[in-house]
Structure 1
Amino acid sequence: MADQPDTNRLLDTMADALRAMDLEALDPVVIGIHTGGAWVADALASRLALDAPSGTIDISFYRDDFSRIGLHPQIRPSHLPVPVDNRVVLLVDDVLHTGRTIRAAMNEIFDYGRPERIILAVLASRPGRELPIAPDVVGLAFDALPPGGHLRLTGPDPLTLGIEVTA
């Protein structure tokens, strides 16, 4: 990877922002989007020492490009440990780009119930939004990436966010 921000520092920044929201008092259910979002959710839950239940969702069947790209080869089951009805949901993903993954995740969450509120936390946000979706908490917001640049999270141990440039 060409450039690597300090992922631990970004996670610490996110945890501080969530503490400032008095997240513990909201008693959230923490939901990470497979795969990178689940890794980030675990890292945040550890930093925050939340007693909150945590779960994961795989949005493969909720993607709006499913008919074009087909079935992803590594579909994982979604696991929500508690009902989401009238609960605060902390939805976590690694990179926010077009907003379509978050839209798909919210569609799946609403299939499980009607949350009181969804708080969106992402490790990184990049330009290119196609839907009006914005994070409540973001580790690092990129204004631009190099031509052909993509953000990629590797992990889970260690978690490393980097910029890859493809020709």
Structure 2
Amino acid sequence: MEGKEKKVQVLDDKGIGRAITRIAHEILEKNKGAKDIILVGIKTRGVPLAKRLAEKITQIEEVQIPVGILDITLYRDDLSQINNDPVLHGSEIPVDIKGKVVVLVDDVLYTGRTVRAALDALIDIGRPRVIQLAVLVDRGHRELPIRADYVGKNVPTSTSEVVKVKFEEVDGENSVIIENS
């Protein structure tokens, strides 16, 4: 048994779909509809999640929700530890965020550092009326005082575990797996 990795699937394709449906309804309920909402996905896996949420909101409300892409590479507090030559892909926000409800979207909320970097990047782009956070998985272990407004699934983990979110658009499958690192 030594050296064997333990893998546990916590969400399959249908589970992810149900979580997205629930989050979409919660976003609409909290904001009393889809007016002035912009979804902004944090690269990489926040982007397909934001697009799926927008599609679900369109199905529910019959209104198109703008979806933006946020590259936080230069805002990371661990940038020098990761790479001396970071690759920038750029942010793409299709509308002015001033005075809007921006829902930041990411796959996993862990320490909160990615979200902090995303908040800095977003504020450099403009000043929204409010910023909310939607995540597919909240695994705990926060290092910063950050909390998600919308959570697909709370998954208690140990710090030695890794949560892997896979989306069809990026990975060729839809699943959320916890494995030992």
Q: Give the TM-score of the pair, scaled to structure 1.
A: 0.89
- Kindly provide the amino acid, as one letter, of the partner of residue 28 in structure 2: R
User: Aligned letter for 1:163?
Assistant: I
* 1:64-103 equivalence runs, <5 A: 64-70=77-83, 75-103=88-116
The DSSP-based 3-state class of the residue aligned with 1:83 is coil
Within 5 Å, which residues of 2 pair with 1:1-167?
Answer: 1-5=7-11, 6-22=15-31, 24-49=33-58, 50-70=63-83, 75-142=88-155, 144-146=156-158, 148-157=160-169, 158-166=173-181
| Structure 1 SS opposite 2:8 | coil
Distance 1:131 1:160 in 2: 27
Is the CA contact (8 Å cut-off) linking 2:42 and 2:70 kept in structure 1? yes
CA RMSD of aligned residues (A): 1.9
Deviation at 1:73, TM superposition (A): 6.2
Unaligned runs of 5+ in 1: none
Q: Distance in 1 between matches of 2:138 and 2:159?
A: 16
C-alpha separation in 2, matches of 1:23 and 1:87: 14
- SS at 1:105 equivalent: helix
Q: Is the 8 A contact 1:60 1:71 kept in 2?
A: no
* Displacement of 1:135: 0.6
Distance across 2 between alignment mates of 1:41 and 1:72: 28
**Which range is displaced more, 42-51 or 125-134?**
42-51
Preserved contact between residue 85 and residue 115 of structure 1 (Cα < 8 Å): yes
Structure 2 unaligned spans of 5+:
1-6
Report runs of 4+ in structure 1 exceeding 4 Å deviation. Answer: 71-74
Shift of 1:103: 0.6
Equivalent AA in structure 2 for residue 161 of structure 1: V
- Structure 2 counterpart SS, 1:2: strand
Q: For residues 14 and 79 of structure 1, do their structure 2 counterparts lie closer, same or farther at Cα, with a shift above 3 Å needed?
A: same
- Of residues 16-25 and 115-124 in structure 1, the stretch that sits farther from structure 2 once superposed is 16-25
Percent of aligned pairs sharing the same letter: 36
Deviation at 1:80, TM superposition (A): 0.7
Flag the 1:23–1:153 CA change in 2: closer, same or farther, 3 A.
farther
Q: Deviations over 1:74-109 (max 9, x none)?
A: 542210111211111011000000001001001001
